[in-house]
């Protein structure tokens, strides 16, 4: 196998090197890629969409259709992880352990009995390790700021690096951080599985819905300029707003998907205390 791999690799590599001979040199301002289409985007982005960040305008407007499916890919990934891993309708184990938070005494209950949810007791599993107080507290402090920053990144995508994907990932990371620093159950209390699973399609649906709204308003799919009539602004500003709407959708979808994938993979679909 190794030999075959080596041969294939060398042959392919040699072929690619051979092909690279005709490529323009690195950072050549006159390469076709830099002279054919990109000038149009750079020069007209402001005029067409009044979005200073060309990447954003290109991402969400000129090639907004790609981006919609990109978001769908994310959603698909979350769904596949769920459908592959989630163990549904699984009954509780016979013995369950609860830990008294203040004293640290662990109670073990048989025949699947439960302790009514209270502040003093936390449910733990066999592979429970004592959590580090510093990490817990530190993360608790950081998480709100992380989320705030995530919102900023989404909102400010128009005129600075950022946008729905980046902001969404940051938001998702905040919840995942909670799950890592405490345990999955704590995170799930903040954000239930059902909420995640419904918000995720909703996020993408916001994107597609915006496009469909334009379609219903009588122009082509994703042609935000039609929103002008709804938002009572000029078509160019309408495009900018349309881009913002879809960015929000992207943000929601990406955040929830990140959480969804983490929940399923970290607990192998059992949704116990996780890592």
Q: Which residues, in sequence order, are CB contacts of 174 under 8 Å at separation 6+?
A: 143, 146, 147, 150
Of the ranges 9-17, 131-139, 141-149, 176-184, which one interacts with another protein (CB under 8 A)? 9-17
Q: What residue has token string 């698909």?
A: 76
Of the ranges 19-27, 119-127, 136-144, 170-178, which one interacts with another protein (CB under 8 A)? 19-27
Nearest residue (CB) to another protein, 118 versus 160 = 160
What are the backbone dihedrals phi and psi of residue 109, each rounded to the nearest 5 degrees, phi first? -110, 140
Q: Which residues, in sequence order, are CB contacts of 140 under 8 Å at separation 6+?
A: 181
Q: Does 252 bind another protein (CB under 8 A)?
A: no
Task: Tell the smallest beta-carbon distance from residue 182 to another protein (Å).
Answer: 22
Q: Does 5 bind another protein (CB under 8 A)?
A: yes
Q: Does 40 bind another protein (CB under 8 A)?
A: yes
User: Of 107, 61, 91, 95, which Cα lies nearest the Cα of 210?
Assistant: 61
Of the ranges 97-105, 130-138, 182-190, 223-231, which one interacts with another protein (CB under 8 A)? 223-231
Instruction: Give the footprint of another protein on residues 78-137 (CB under 8 A).
Output: 78-85, 88-89
Q: Which of 106, 137, 159, 229 binds another protein (CB under 8 A)?
A: 159
Q: What is the DSSP string of 144-198?
A: HHHHHHHHHHHHGGGTSS--HHHHHHHHHHHHHHHHHHS-HHHHHHHS-HHHHHH
Q: Does 180 bind another protein (CB under 8 A)?
A: no
Q: Does 225 bind another protein (CB under 8 A)?
A: yes
Q: Which of 138, 161, 230, 231 binds another protein (CB under 8 A)?
A: 161
Task: Tell the smallest beta-carbon distance from residue 93 to another protein (Å).
Answer: 17
Q: Does 261 bind another protein (CB under 8 A)?
A: yes
Nearest residue (CB) to another protein, 128 versus 221 = 221
d(CA 113, CA 172): 34
């Amino acid at each position: 196998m190794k030999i075959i791999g080596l041969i294939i690799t060398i042959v392919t590599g040699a072929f690619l090197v051979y092909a690279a001979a005709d490529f323009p040199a690195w950072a050549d301002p006159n390469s076709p890629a830099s002279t054919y289409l990109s000038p149009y985007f750079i020069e007209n982005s402001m005029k067409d969409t009044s979005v200073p960040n060309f990447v954003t305008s290109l991402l969400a407007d000129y090639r907004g259709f790609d981006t919609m499916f990109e978001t769908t890919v994310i959603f698909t990934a979350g769904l596949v992880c769920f459908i592959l891993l989630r163990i549904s309708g699984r009954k509780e184990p016979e013995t369950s352990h609860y830990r008294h938070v203040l004293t640290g005494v662990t109670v073990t209950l048989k025949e699947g009995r439960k302790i009514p949810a209270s502040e003093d007791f936390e449910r733990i599993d066999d592979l429970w390790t004592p959590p580090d107080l510093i990490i817990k507290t530190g993360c608790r402090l950081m998480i709100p700021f992380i989320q705030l920053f995530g919102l900023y990144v989404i909102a400010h995508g128009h005129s600075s690096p950022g946008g729905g994907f980046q902001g969404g990932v940051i938001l998702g990371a905040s919840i995942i951080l909670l799950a890592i620093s405490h345990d999955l159950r704590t995170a799930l209390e903040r954000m239930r599985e059902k909420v995640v699973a419904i918000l995720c399609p909703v996020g993408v649906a916001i994107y597609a819905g915006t496009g469909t709204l334009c379609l219903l308003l009588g122009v082509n799919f994703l042609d935000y300029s039609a929103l002008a009539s709804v938002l009572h602004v000029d078509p160019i500003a309408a495009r900018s707003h349309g881009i913002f709407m879809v960015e929000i959708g992207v943000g929601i979808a990406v955040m929830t998907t990140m959480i969804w994938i983490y929940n399923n993979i970290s607990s192998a679909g059992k949704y116990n205390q996780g890592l």
